[in-house]
Amino acid sequence: MKSLLIVSVVSCILPGISLSAIAQKHINAANYQENNPKAKSIKFIEGIEIKADHVSIIQPVNTLPVTDPSTNTTTQSSGNSPAIENFSALQFKYAQLLNCNIEDVKNISMYSFIDEWLETRYRYGGSTKKGVDCSAFTGLLMGTVYAIKLPRTAREQYSQSEKIGKEEMQEGDLVFFNTRGGISHVGVYLSEGYFVHASTNNGVTVSSLTDPYYESRFISGGRVINNTNTAISR
């Protein structure tokens, strides 16, 4: 349901605007705008109030704890008090991109790194924002986010990782492909069947493992450990 909410909101926002969505079924858009002169810039779509800076999803909660100061005892109150969950525009963006719930986009350091490199052009042998190839990008991501030092090439990264199937993959695992013979392409798995990689055609981008091109060339997932020989934290 939240994924549908996200898609509805994003479809009505111009690209590049920092977003905030507040799901408020209890609010009346017409009355709110009448009582708030500055609300003309706020769009209401099926009970959604759109602002800037961050994402707050307000959900009704039937019971909330209330403390009586005279007795210092806590009881459950009844009613429809809202529970508020705050999310960043970055989480909003990648939840929409990965078609997942906002609360599932937790690894802010990883998504910040991805967002910083997104659309960087592909350059064979490159390792900077002037141009980067697939294995350099995975090495930079794993080093920055997980403090894992990977070897330079996709083939070497494959040889130093534990091989896993699609159904076992978790956020931060590597994904390997045969695009031109042998182990020739690598990316980093995100969630919901999506991975980030430096594509020869699109540069740094997010793609789906169900895309016919990648599905037919998929070899395996690869799980790596950090420099202290322990599993990376997810």
Q: pLDDT tens digit string along 43-97?
A: 333 444 444 445 565 555 554 455 565 666 555 555 555 555 789 999 999 999 9
Whole-angstrom Cα distance, residue 135 to residue 48?
42
Q: What is the mean pLDDT of residues 7-28?
A: 39
Q: Give the active site residues.
A: 134, 185, 197
Give me the pLDDT at residue 32, please: 41
Sheet holding 44-45, edge to edge: 20-23, 48-51, 44-45
Answer whether residue 139 shows pLDDT above 60. yes
Give me the pLDDT at residue 65, please: 58
Cβ neighbours for 96, distance < 8 A, ≥ 6 positions apart: 6, 7, 10
Whole-angstrom Cα distance, residue 222 to residue 159?
9
DSSP 8-state assignment for residue 70: T
H helices then E strands: how many in the chain?
Answer: 7, 13
Whole-angstrom Cα distance, residue 189 to residue 197?
9
Give me the pLDDT at residue 10, please: 45
